[in-house]
Amino acid sequence: MHGPVTSTRIGQPVPRKEDMRLITGRGRYTDDLNVEGQAYAVMVRSPHAHAIIRAIDVRGALAVPGVVVVLTGADFIADQMKPIPNKTFSLHPAERPLVNSDGTPAFNVPDYPMPADKTRFVGEAIAMVIAESINAAKDGADRLQVEYEPLPSVTFTVDAAAAEAPRVRDEHSSNICIDAQVGDAEATEEGFRKAAHVVKVKTWIPRVAGSPMEPRAAIGEFNPQTGQYTIHTCSGSTLRLRRDLSLVLDVPEPQVRLVIRDVGGNFGTRGAIFAEQPLVAWAARRIGRPVKWTSERGELLLSDYQGRDLAVEAELALDANGTFLAMRGSNVGNLGSHTGNFSMVQKGVEIMSSIYRMPAAHFRVRAVLSHTAPTRPYRSSGRPEVIYVLERLIDLAARKTGIDRAELRLRNLVSLSELPYENPFGMVYDSGDYIGVMKRTLELADWKGFPARKKEARTRGKYRGIGVANYVDTASGIPREKARVTVYPDGSAEVVIGTISNGQGHETSFAQLVNEWLGVPFDKVRLVTGDTNIVDVGGGAHSGRGMRLGSIVIWGASNRVIDKAKQVVGLLLQKNPGDVAFDDGAFSVSGEPVMRLAEVAEAMAIRTDLPEEFRGTLCAECDETVNVAGFPYGCHACEVEIDPDLGLVEIVRHTAVDDVGRAVNPLIIHGQTAGGIAQGVGQALLEHAFYDASTGQMLAGSFMDYAMPRADILPSFITDISEVPSTTHPLGIRPAGEGGITPALGVIINAVVDALSEFGVTHMEMPATPERIWRAIHGKQQRSRIVPDAAEQEISLL
Amino acid sequence: MHDFVYHRPQDLTSAANLISGNPEAKLLAGGMSLLPSLKLRLAQYSDLVDLKSVATLQGINRDGDALVIGATTRHAQVAASDDVKQAIPALTVLAGGIGDPLVRNRGTIGGSIANADPAADYPSAVLGLGATVITNRREISGDSFFTGLFETALKGGEIITAVRFPVPLLSGYMKLPHPASRFALTGVFVAQTRSGVRVAVTGAGSSVFRAAAAEKALTADFSPAALDDITVDPDGLTSDIHASAEYRAHAIIVLAKRAVASARPQ
């Protein structure tokens, strides 16, 4: 996978600095913090998918010894607190906005952290019991009497789009919040008219729960003397979260301090502000003491922001040679019960054609509300779904045209000379060797040797299948980032930056950057993030922006540190700064070493004879706004072996070649890829946040029913890194965090369908459980994924 | 968790006294089922009586034609025992496949069968081998022990002390792990015992049960092929979001065949 570590510079697979601390119980997660005088909060959650909250009787709860107060949504509004602002679309300049076809604005309404009027999903927090201990708070919660008037609900995406569906918001005439068209309808129509072959797929990519290892937690404090709130929490967001909190708490931003230390995973479940964050802060002010809240796994499965959930009908048109002419269809994304963020449907459809040459495309895109947990971007926001759709269409096209599946892809991949390439949705891919990477994948996966392996498996009664899938990711995110780099007389350095690590390993990879650029020893580089008292600009971690933007501003700040230091060397030695050279932590003049960086820092700190601008700390900042997107890409292959009697799938081989432009830490990159693949396996074969359509209940409410992928069902992955420098990044870097999962759904399902092709199986829905596979083999009707005992309903978006 | 008083008696009589006449008292063995239910506040007891220090409940012994396993013997101990492997290798397989290493290091056979989870592995061995459950008051035939969903024939104040497994001629256990819980989505224990063939199924109904048609076919011919034309009626079997009754009915036969195949001496 990677060679031995020979230094701690860029490109080296340096083991992570933070790991020993994290795996020996010395992590500093939110729940590890205890604040003097803190009280404990427990949330009371709705058991109904949709109900009017008629009354909340707190007397029984208040009578429990140790209970301090019970707070409700009505109390929140009465205290003049504000609702949570919505983000809706990605407004990144490189992305394509969605607008309603009829010209009306997208429907969105902000939600309160706790509703006062109605509850709109099972698991929604409707009251907060605060007590001297968690047990007392739970006892109080048990005795809270809530009078609900249940109402009809709708949970399934396609059902929610129907005109007669129970409405989630009375203010709107339906559950459809956006109904847009993207692409060129006329050119697409033309493409289909000319087509020699048309293939179609109808599919539903179901809802999943991101399941980070660390449950959500928040501690709120309020200082009445200063009027300042302090919130300790886990999040992927820094300044944006602080801003959102200040809007909800209705105070100026400087009155909110946000502190984020170690975070045990995110994947999008905590990229945005979540209800309990402003609630603990508000409660702390109400009761005059800190309030701490930590959730439990069952709460996470019900009330974390969930992911995916897209119903698609799509068609691909090809000519007689198998050249792609056009694609069209309809996507309906399920927002859950909040109109918090529509960017998943946006980010999906804008790269619907992936990295293939696609002359024309046209899609209808809708986002609907339903009585389910709100959805938000989940690792690779919107893309695994659409890549799966196109890769399925291509496999169907290969079958129809008789052209080999790999050959059909190679023929249609955008070639080196065609880049930059504008896709039919207006996205411009900068650079990449798509064909080279796919060829490498086929080689590493031993695509040619597959027929022999398939034959051998049959002698053991097993059926093998293989799939290959290409992908592209749009790495955008909040465009602005800032770093301040400081070098100290003791030879150490500190990087203050507005990104945040939720497991990406920035403590290590950013230290490698500083080691490379400033020669500061790796172990002496400190990373400071997550405290808004220290960090004043930055966007946190999402959409691959951590390394992509972090590298730019750390590089910029490092260069300014060197320039400043050269000026000082020039002054001290009476030389022209232009004659001073810097390499690996040391300055030289005419080839002779003169001073080390740390010595310059010391001189600036203690000498009084330097001009004022060079007295003090040796530090510099870099604040950049990057309006271009990054486009990581790659190709994965998956080989499965199926036990036909029980429908059991074994992944015998999974190969990944991902282009990261320039790898900073291959060990971390391989780790990211492996994690992404595992999450893809999870959705393809196991995971489903199963909402019962008739009751609105989420039936996979614990890990006893929500099936997570585990290490023992996965092979060792074959992961390879390609480095074709990105032409739109000064260092050539492309993000690596989401490549593992983006092609995973498509490549795994294609492998399964390939394995079952001799039984006449042409498609498989997710999760491809043993029963689903067994039924497909025997031509039996599939079971529904929305009503446990019913037959599968045909998805129709027309 | 609600408050409780914790006891750690050193002998069986003390343990029995602690739970006698007190329906709010509960026995604690490995805690692998009990503790999660307490943490989730699904159950509440005034007293927990921990059996781990009662020495007479531990141990694996060969007793003539039978293997006697003490009630607080942990799954990992059963899985690692040479006596078990020699006498009833299917039990080694069964115990080694329960949960995960953490669960196997703490979970006990007595706890498992007293809890009578419809998807637990051990009940299929008790029924599949015609075992006897020994308590501090009497002996209960395995055929009468499991009476319903999380229900057994145990009376208030009764403590399982051991399970006596008659050593069979041949035995095999095959389990289709539940994708989430790793309990048995369906599990089949097959044995050619000294008093006939038994096929015990777990995970497919509200309680472990014997598959009569399969037993009849295997009695005539103890081979996988004997089950080729045997089916199980899905009616009454469990159906949930993971698998339908129809699939479970099908899986029973597939697993039974594989269990028979694995029962053959190497």
Give contacts of A66 with chain B, Cβ < 8 Å.
none
pLDDT band at A92 (very low <50, low <70, confident <90, very high): confident
pLDDT band at A353 (very low <50, low <70, confident <90, very high): very high
Q: Does residue B3 sit at the A interface (CB-CB below 8 Å)?
A: yes
Residue A798: predicted pLDDT: 61
The structure tokens listed for B27 are 């026995």
Among the listed residues A271, A273, A275, the one whose alpha carbon sits nearest the alpha carbon of residue A114: A275
Q: What is the DSSP string of A685-711?
A: II----B-TTT--BS--STTTS----G
- Please report, for residues A429, A458, B12, B19, the alpha-carbon distance to residue B5 in angstroms, rounded to integers and kept in the order given: 66, 60, 18, 12
Question: What SS3 state is found at B209?
Answer: strand
Q: Does residue B43 sit at the A interface (CB-CB below 8 Å)?
A: no
Give contacts of A788 with chain B, Cβ < 8 Å.
239-241
Residue B170: predicted pLDDT: 97
Among the listed residues A479, A354, A341, the one whose alpha carbon sits nearest the alpha carbon of residue A421: A354
CB contact under 8 A, B3 and A142: no
Give contacts of A645 with chain B, Cβ < 8 Å.
254
Closest A-chain CA to B181: A704
In B130-159, the residues whose Cβ lies within 8 Å of chain A are: none
CB contact under 8 A, A704 and B2: no
Residue A1: predicted pLDDT: 57
- Residues of chain B predicted below pLDDT 70: 266
Mean pLDDT of A116-136: 97
Percent of chain A at pLDDT > 70 equals 100
CB contact under 8 A, B241 and A699: yes
Mean pLDDT of A773-782: 96
pLDDT band at A87 (very low <50, low <70, confident <90, very high): confident
Q: What's the CA gap between A549 and A480, in Å, rounded?
A: 8
B1-55 fold: 3.30.43
Residue A500: predicted pLDDT: 95
B170-263: CATH number: 3.30.390.50
Does residue A315 contact residue A198 with C-beta atoms inside 8 Å?
Answer: yes
Give contacts of B179 with chain A, Cβ < 8 Å.
686, 707, 769
- pTM for the predicted model, two decimal places: 0.97
Alpha-carbon distance B224 to nearest alpha carbon in chain A (angstroms): 14
Q: What is the ipTM of this complex?
A: 0.96
Q: pLDDT of A249-260, one tens digit each?
A: 999 999 999 999
Give contacts of B247 with chain A, Cβ < 8 Å.
770-771, 774-775
Question: What SS3 state is found at A276?
Answer: helix
- Quote the mean pLDDT of chain A: 96
Question: What SS3 state is found at A71?
Answer: strand
- Please report, for residues A459, A723, B81, B188, the alpha-carbon distance to residue B264 in angstroms, rounded to integers and kept in the order given: 22, 55, 20, 16
Contacting residues for B18 by C-beta, under 8 A, at least 6 apart? B7, B9, B25, B47, B49
pLDDT band at A360 (very low <50, low <70, confident <90, very high): very high
A-B contacts (CB, under 8 Å): 51
CB contact under 8 A, B242 and A769: yes
CB contact under 8 A, A705 and B247: no
Closest B-chain CA to A774: B247
Give contacts of A775 with chain B, Cβ < 8 Å.
247
Q: pLDDT of A144-156, one tens digit each?
A: 999 999 999 999 9
**pLDDT > 80? residue A428:** yes
Closest B-chain CA to A136: B2
Q: pLDDT of B160-208, one tens digit each?
A: 999 999 999 999 999 999 999 999 999 999 999 999 999 999 999 999 9
CB contact under 8 A, A700 and B250: no
Q: Exposed, middle or buried: residue A26 (CB in 10 Å: 0-12, 13-18, 19+)?
A: exposed
Domain ranges of chain B: 1-55, 170-263
CB contact under 8 A, B244 and A789: yes
Does residue A281 contact residue A351 with C-beta atoms inside 8 Å?
Answer: no
- Please report, for residues A488, A586, A618, B258, B261, the alpha-carbon distance to residue A601 in angstroms, rounded to integers and kept in the order given: 6, 12, 5, 73, 76
Mean pLDDT of A647-668: 98
Q: Does residue B236 sit at the A interface (CB-CB below 8 Å)?
A: no
Residue B124: predicted pLDDT: 98
Residue A794: predicted pLDDT: 82
- B196-202 vs B184-193, strand pairing mode: antiparallel
Residue A90: predicted pLDDT: 81
**pLDDT > 90? residue A178:** yes
Closest A-chain CA to B182: A704
Percent of chain A at pLDDT > 90 equals 96
Give contacts of B250 with chain A, Cβ < 8 Å.
774
Residue B249: predicted pLDDT: 98
Q: What's the CA gap between B202 and B218, in Å, rounded?
A: 19
Residue A789: predicted pLDDT: 87
**pLDDT > 90? residue A93:** no
Residue B266: predicted pLDDT: 56
Task: Using CB atoms, pick whichever of A139, A703, A770 lies closest to residue B180.
Answer: A703
Residue A793: predicted pLDDT: 83
pLDDT band at A796 (very low <50, low <70, confident <90, very high): confident
- Please report, for residues A222, A281, A559, the alpha-carbon distance to residue A229 in angstroms, rounded to integers and kept in the order given: 4, 7, 37
Give contacts of A690 with chain B, Cβ < 8 Å.
241
**pLDDT > 90? residue A745:** yes
Alpha-carbon distance B221 to nearest alpha carbon in chain A (angstroms): 22
Q: pLDDT of A260-273, one tens digit each?
A: 999 999 999 999 99
Q: Judge if the upstream peptide bond of residue A420 is cis by omega within 30 degrees of 0.
A: yes
Give contacts of A713 with chain B, Cβ < 8 Å.
none
- A43, β-bridge pairs: A128
Q: pLDDT of A677-703, one tens digit each?
A: 999 999 999 999 999 999 999 999 999
